[in-house]
Structure 1
Amino acid sequence: MLKTQCPRCIGDGRLPYEERTFAYSRPAVMNDHFERAHLADIKVRKHDNLIFYEHLKCIEDGIKLSNIDHLRNHVQSVYGV
């Protein structure tokens, strides 16, 4: 995963391959997309303990995330994003 790819979109099997692997021009632009497109949903799911990360490798490894900070830490430490 590149620093300019959205960590949430890349694992969304409902999206076409081109959309999942889309790379933004800069990491800051990707961060803006993440906040606009995904953060509200993550915050709602957080209250129900339903935060999940849909990267195929993480699904295979059984990665469970408990909150948004855990998600951010995971994406940073594992993928450098």
Structure 2
Amino acid sequence: MRKVSKKFVGTMVASLVVVSTCISIFAEDSDTVTAMGTAMSGVKSDGISALSTVAPYGIAIMGAFLIWKLGVKFFKSLAK
């Protein structure tokens, strides 16, 4: 078990060094950051608009199933 944990710790340290190097490299390129921010802004607005279109139908369907389930449970309790 100790051999595995030592290998795991070594792998994690090496991974953290690689990731921290990549983060500093990507942080310096402001054009890339700006482009990614613009792209993610579009994805965010598209996702929110899709969610706002679909959410009322999903809530209505979920509510119908919930009312059905609770109604059946209520009437079963009355029948006992």
Determine which structure has the larger helix proportion and give its number: 2
Give the TM-score, by structure 1 length: 0.25
Give the TM-score, by structure 2 length: 0.25
Q: Higher relative contact order at CA 8 Å, sep ≥6: structure 1 or structure 2? A: 1
Structure number with greater Rg is 2
